[in-house]
Amino acid sequence: MKQLLNTLYVQTQGTYVHLDHDTLRLEVERSTKFQMPLHHLGSIVVFGNVLVSPFLIHRCADDGRDLVWLSEYGRFRARLSGSTTGNVLLRRSQHAALDNADSTLLIARHVVAGKLQNARSVLMRAAREANDEGDRAALSKAAKVHADAIRGTEQAEDLEKLRGIEGYAAKAYFAAFTPMIRTNRTAFALTERSRRPPRDPINALLSFVYTLLVGECIAACEGVGLDPQMGFLHALRPGRPALALDLMEELRSPLADRLILTLINRGQIKPDDFIERPGGAIHLTEDARKALLNAYQKRKQEEVLHPVVGSKTPLGLIAHVQARLLARHLRGDLPTYQPFVQR
């Protein structure tokens, strides 16, 4: 159980959430683990096998309090919004911001700045840990590109220029990805990004974890009432979750990339954990996929200090917090959208 902003996140499997007069009680195996006055909460998000009493559901509907169901792994299932029109107004604000070039650029600029900050941190950390001078120089050079790009976001006059800055930094980042690999480098070297389908093991890993991550960002948008397809940085296309992809940018390096690098460098993912399918597509074996999912779930449970919320937050909830911060900005409660930057 974790309370962030005015939202309670219930991740403990087997929890029973119910109402005792005006107090919310959370029980596990008939033992009360958490309780608090219901009026302190604006919304409740439950993951997987969490039972919610009918009376609590009715009360949330009456009060206009959001109740969101996600799968154990964070995939969106359903949301109870009650009889209020809060989500309608939020979506209207989202659409209005997207119709305003200045508002769109302001949000996109913060998204890109957050992504670049986190990518630079991963590069600098890898440079400090590098044993080879050539690797250290390559990583430091890529980190310098990101520092320049971060400054460039402030001067970007329009969305296309901002996307150009982000693309140039991304190219430098993936060019420096191989120097961050210290084990089985030949097998896991990243020469180019290939997505549909991935053509080598490292692209198979990146594509798999990025797919998990974008699914969670879709859930985060849905959970707060935002339209996951109406993004600010990513262009709008039918069926494309542009806003979820926006939120995902800040989390690629700290959550996905660092997990992959750790698994490779510790030898927990090996070259023989992959199979080649007809057509040249490379996929994880079933056992390796299970191991990666377990590691991903553990990674999401790791707590980091959220600089805006000011408290330790599981990595798996960062997307949800960011969605709520964006919603607050769109409603006019915050002057700017503040991206997540890991310290």
Angle between helices 159-175 and 133-155 (to 10 degrees): 170
Which pLDDT band, with edges at 50, 70 and 90, does 81 fall under? low
Strand order through the sheet with 23-28: 31-37, 23-28, 15-20, 51-52
292 pLDDT more than 90: no
**Average pLDDT of the residues in 18-39:** 90
Cα dihedral 12, 16, 19, 23 in deg (nearest 10): -40
Say if strands 66-70 and 43-47 run parallel, antiparallel, or are unpaired. Answer: parallel
Q: Which of 108-112, 186-190, 246-250 comes out lowest in average pLDDT?
A: 186-190
What pTM, to 2 d.p., does this model score? Answer: 0.80
Q: What is the pLDDT of residue 309?
A: 82
pLDDT (0 to 100) of residue 105? 95
pLDDT on residue 197: 84
Amino acid type, 258 = R
Tens digits of residue pLDDT in 226-285: 999 999 999 998 889 999 999 999 999 999 999 999 999 999 999 999 988 888 888 888
Question: What average pLDDT does range 157-174 have in this prediction?
Answer: 94
Highest mean pLDDT among 75-84, 167-176, 275-284, 299-308: 167-176
Nearest CA-CA partner of 59 in 30, 17, 90:
17
Instruction: Decide if pLDDT at 84 tops 80.
Output: no
DSSP state, 239? T
Percent of the chain with pLDDT over 70: 97
**What is the mean predicted confidence (pLDDT) over 216-224?**
88
Q: Which residue, 5, 14, 58, 7, is CA-closest to 33?
A: 14
> What is the predicted pLDDT for the residue at 68?
86
**pLDDT of 5 above 80:** no
Question: So what's the pLDDT on residue 11?
Answer: 85
**pLDDT class of 290 with cuts at 50, 70, 90:** confident
| CA 111/CA 106 separation, integer angstroms | 9
The neighbour count for residue 116, using CB atoms within 10 Å, is 29
Among the residue ranges 110-119, 171-180, 274-283, the one predicted with the least confidence is 274-283
Amino acid at the residue 115 = K
Biggest alpha carbon–alpha carbon distance for the chain: 65
Determine the Cα–Cα distance for residues 48 and 10; give it in Å rounded to an integer: 9
The DSSP call for residue 317 is G
Q: Is the dihedral of CA 90, 5, 122, 180 positive or negative?
A: negative
Q: Write the CB contacts of 317 (distance below 8 Å, at least 6 apart in sequence).
A: 2, 4, 9
